Structure 1
Amino acid sequence: MKEIDSFDQWLTISASEPKLLLFVKTDHCSVCEGLYPQVAELEKKYPFPFYKVNAAQVPEVAGQLSLFTAPVVLLFRQGKEMTRFARFVPMEQLKHRMDELGEWGEDYA
């Protein structure tokens, strides 16, 4: 999973990637630490990039995405948020939404 280190980097990524997953964590978050390996493992199965950002280090991302808790897993298509899972992420629901995102062709942007 690639790390996002600045808000400008996030803007570039979100504008250029047709599909992506964003994992948002923060410092001293045991739920974040427990969920991260589960989400990272899914990267092997899906044909779109996974990114992570620490909201404590890049607070502009959390502010612009209206994130008030952590962890948060967001799925984006053509720069638009398609799905948001916050705090306790049901992995089966996440996989289902990721399957849907993976199936969507780019012809229908």
Structure 2
Amino acid sequence: MKQIASFEEWVETIKLKNELLLFVKTNNCSVCDGLYPQVEVLKVDYPIPFYQVNIAQVPEIAGQLSLFTAPVVLLFYGGKEYTRFARFVRIEELKQRLAEVIERGKQD
């Protein structure tokens, strides 16, 4: 996953990408560390950009996206939030939402 290092980089990324997944983590988060590999492996089957941000390093993103916990997986389509999974992510449901976003992208 590509790392988002600043709020400005995030703003530019969301402007340029029609669809993307954002994995939000924080420091010393065992749930984040356990979930990350499960989400990262999905890149192989779902051809959309995957990004990661550590909200301890870029706290502005947490405020702008109303993030109150970690991990959070956000799926964006058309520059807007399509769906959000917080804390405990059901991988099968995430796969369904990824497939929906890819299908919508094909229809546009």
Pairwise same-fold verdict (TM > 0.5): yes
One-letter amino acid matched to 1:28: N
How many percent of aligned residue pairs carry the same amino acid?
A: 63
Give the superposition deviation at 1:59: 0.2
Partner of 1:19: 19
Give the superposition deviation at 1:106: 6.0
Give the superposition deviation at 1:78: 1.3
The answer as to 2:40 corresponding to 1:62 is: no
Q: Secondary structure at the match of 1:57?
A: coil
Task: Quote the Cα distance in structure 2 between the aligned partners of 1:107 and 1:91.
Answer: 25
Structure 2 residues without counterparts, runs of 5 or longer: none
One-letter amino acid matched to 1:25: K
Structure 1 residues without counterparts, runs of 5 or longer: none
Give the superposition deviation at 1:93: 0.5
Contact kept in structure 2, 1:20 and 1:51, CA below 8 Å = yes
TM-score normalised by the chain length of structure 2: 0.97
Q: How does 1:4-83 map to 2 (within 5 A)?
A: 4-83=4-83
One-letter amino acid matched to 1:88: F
- Total equivalences in the alignment: 108
Task: Quote the Cα distance in structure 2 between the aligned partners of 1:106 and 1:77.
Answer: 12
Task: After the TM superposition, list the runs of 4 or more consecutive aligned residues in structure 1 that deviate by more than 3 angstroms.
Answer: none
